[in-house]
Amino acid sequence: MSVNQTDPMIGRLIDDRYQVRSRIARGGMATVYLATDLRLERRVAIKIMHGHLADDASFKERFIQEARSAARLAHPNVVNVFDQGQDDDSAYLVMEYLPGITLRELLQDHKVLTAEQAMDIMEAVLAGLAAAHRAGIVHRDLKPENVLLADDGRIKIGDFGLARAATANTATGAALLGTIAYLSPELVTRGIADTRSDIYALGIMLFEMLTGEQPYKGEQPMQIAYQHANDTVPAPSTTNPSVPVELDELVLWATARDPEHRPRDARALLDQLLDVQRALADPSGPPVGRTMVLPSATATAVLPDSGSGTGASTGETQILPKARHRTGPIGPETDSNADRLRTAAARRHRRGAAWLVIVVVLALLVGGVGWWFGSGPGAQAEVPDVSGQDPAAAAAQLIQAGFEVDSENRSDFSPVVPAGQVTATDPDASSRLQKGSTVTMVVSQGPRQLEVPQVVGGSIDDARQALSDFSVRDPSQQFDEKAEGTVLGIAGVGADGNAVDLSGGGQYGEQQPIDLTVSLGPVPDVVGQTVEQAQATLQSVELAGVESGREYSGTIDAGSVIRSEPQVDGPVRPGDTLNLVVSDGPAPITVPDVTGKTIDEATAELQGLGLRVAYDACRNFTCAFYDWEASLPVTATDPGAGGIAYAGSTVALSYRVE
């Protein structure tokens, strides 16, 4: 996993719950990050509004509206929204994490899709959008960037950031939102959008999937907007001749300039797409999207094909001949008024009986459908969240919810779910499925084991970068002779919860917590400072100092600190208290009685006590002939015997020449 070191959000804990891991994408309103929900122990995508928009009330309201709109939807083809909130100045939105690519990336790689591929993608998108339209929500920003293609084959619509309630048309004023290449004519000209505006955007997307390009091009956005408002989208087959005529008609229907000529919503377009799929899969079946002209006794009646859903005539017209009137003589019985009345009455009776049968059958069908989808096998239920449970308990909860459990579990590495517990389900939790559907459990193998790099002795910044595959927590700091910012140690957390020394490297789980110990530099030197000065110096680095004792010192002035010592064994950390030993000045010394001893003997004794000795040189001429210092006795001292002197002070000797 790559980490952008320049992004301040990386590593941040949002709302004491969501640990931001890496950046996924950046948009106009927000940036999307991969994060871990520490409470539920699952990966999520978290969308965080750009900081410069936080003070803009309209942008903030639109961002919050996305959460409210999307949270109302529960459909397998719509990205699930789990949470929304604000942490400090950051408004955020929590969604399901869907690893994969966008439709835009697929088009960039493959340019043109086959008709089957395009229809498969459109079917999933229309199914999700139909749920939104049914809930009264208009997406307003449909484009390939907002269609997500998961690695496991799921297709979902995301980013309802511009969605508005569709209960009434909404004018945006001068600021048209969305991407200009997919804006409907009514949005360009009047700033009004409803469900049919989404249909227009899907028609442009289908054109792009079938041809590899958008129908309108221009150097300036206004040139493209003008074409949307005034031109008619061409048939895709004019660019790609292999496109079937049925898909041509579908694109032209969806991109009609007049909203009244488009499908009323995604459900109508989805029904027609399914008819087109069936027709292309079985060319021998009845034509799709063609007007059928049925015979009538008096005129030719033109009726729309039931699959089109619009009543508009497109494609070829099949005209059947009018029914011929019966000719020849009319017998007396048929010419009788009474007979004609009896015949009419019988006909009405048969019609009444037929209608009664139809009503009964319809009632039975409605009741059966209601039972099927209400409490029968066709009823839908929400897949419960069983992550963090052992497989047996999770299977029991899924069965209780009405689902079948796949006998073969899948396994996957998980940095947050312990090995042997369920980390996810397929389909995801909160998906709505028919009861009886099979759900596969994904069981955690624990975190993937990775090699821990050597970081001790290096800087903290280099260590963070080298350990990007792990969860580096705030480092602990201590004073040390090594330079400030140097990594002194690295430790992980073992299965028993105790620290594991990783200074020598080794294997450790991906995204598992890493604790670093970092140097703050040496403890400040306070020797020679007064107690007040020493305490202030230590307080500046979050240490405390207390006077703990006094000692004599011949080198440190009285009242100044001789040394500082930790109160407890071990490294010194911020918040610790140091003992300050203060000087009482030089130690007092009682001068001994050295009278009667030779000068050399007295000197040696006094110097041994830390005193200095002074005496006058012998000027008697006889002193030149012998060692007078080793022979002449001391007669007196200053200070005298019993007096007080201090280490380093001088005692004067007096002697007598005999």
* pLDDT above 90 coverage of the chain, percent: 51
Does the residue 328 lie in any domain?
no
What's the CATH code of the domain at 574?
A: 3.30.10
Asked whether residue 410 is assigned to any structural domain, the reply reads yes
Same domain, 89 and 111: no
453 with 421: CB under 8 angstroms?
no
- Residue at 228 is within a domain: yes
Amino acid at 576: D
Same domain, 111 and 230: yes
Q: Given the residues 37, 89, 120, 141, select the one marked as catalytic.
A: 141
**CA distances, 327 to each of 324, 330, 332 (Å):** 9, 9, 15
Our CA dihedral for 219, 222, 225, 227, rounded to 10 degrees, sits at -60
pLDDT tens, position by position, 284-297: 655 444 333 323 33
Domain match, 567 and 490 both = no
- Lowest-confidence range among 160-164, 325-329, 443-447, 562-566? 325-329
Mean pLDDT of all residues in 269-289: 79
Tokens of 395: 């299977």
Looking at 396, 423, 444, the residue that finishes a domain is 444
Say if residues 30 and 50 touch (Cβ distance below 8 Å): yes
Mean pLDDT of all residues in 591-601: 93
Q: Which tokens sit at 609? A: 């006590």
Rounded Cα distance between 440 and 512, Å, is 26
Q: Is residue 135 part of a domain?
A: yes
Rounded to an integer, what is the distance from CA 141 to the centroid of its chain? Answer: 22
Same domain, 88 and 106: no
Q: 334 pLDDT exceeds 60?
A: no
Does 266 lie in the same domain as 176? yes
Contact 173, 190 (CB under 8 A): no
pLDDT digits (tens, 9 = 90+) for 222-258: 888 889 989 999 999 999 999 999 999 999 999 999 9
Q: Does one domain contain both 140 and 209?
A: yes
Same domain, 216 and 140: yes
Angstrom distances, CA of residue 195 to CA of 145, 165, 214, 381: 19, 10, 21, 27
Give me 92's structure tokens.
């955020």
Parallel/antiparallel/unpaired status of strands 438-444 and 410-412: parallel
pLDDT of residue 19 exceeding 60: yes
- Over residues 475-485, the pLDDT tens digits come to 999 999 999 99
CATH number, domain of 427, equals 3.30.10.20
The answer to the question of residue 290 being in a domain is: no
Residue 167 has pLDDT above 80, yes or no: no
Distance CA 637, CA 650 (A): 10
Report the C-alpha gap between 500 and 493 in whole angstroms. 6
Helices (H), 402-478: 460-466
Beta bridge pairs of residue 93 = 47, 84
Same domain, 171 and 273: yes
297 exposure class (CB count in 10 Å sphere: 0-12, 13-18, 19+)? exposed
Residue that terminates a domain, selected from 260, 281, 302 = 281
Out of 545, 568, 583, a domain closes at 583
pLDDT tens, position by position, 511-553: 899 999 999 999 999 999 999 999 999 999 999 999 999 998 8
Contact criterion met (CB below 8 Å) for 429 and 384 = yes
Instruction: For residue 370, tell me if it sits in a domain.
Output: no
Task: Looking at the structure, tell me whether residues 113 and 258 fall in a common domain.
Answer: yes
pLDDT digits over 423-440, tens only? 999 998 888 888 889 999
In this structure, are 477 and 499 located in the same domain? Answer: yes
- Across the strands, what pairs with 381? 433
Range with the poorest average pLDDT among 3-7, 317-321, 509-513: 317-321
DSSP 94-145: EEE---EEEHHHHHHHHSS--HHHHHHHHHHHHHHHHHHHHTTEE----SGG
Token readout for 329 is 């003589």
Residue 116 in any domain: the answer is: yes
Secondary structure (H, E, C), 338-380: HHHHHHHHHHHHHHHHHHHHHHHHHHHHHHHHHHHHHCCCCCE
Whether 344 shows a pLDDT value over 80: the answer reads no
- State whether residue 168 is helix, strand or coil: coil
* CA–centroid distance for 135 within its chain: 27
- Residue 282's CB: how many other CB atoms inside 10 A? 9
pLDDT average, residue stretch 70-74: 79
Range of the domain at 402: 380-444
Q: Note the pTM of the prediction, 2 decimals.
A: 0.45
**The three-state (H, E, C) secondary structure of 68-105, written as one string:** HHHHCCCCCCECCEEEEEEECCEEEEEEECCCEEEHHH
CATH number of 55's domain: 3.30.200.20
Please indicate whether residue 159 is annotated as part of the active site: no
Q: How many domains does the chain have?
A: 6
Distance CA 178, CA 197 (A): 11
Burial of 124 by CB count in 10 Å (0-12 exposed, 13-18 middle, 19+ buried)? Answer: buried
Same domain, 609 and 505: no
For residues 453 and 410, membership in a common domain is answered with no
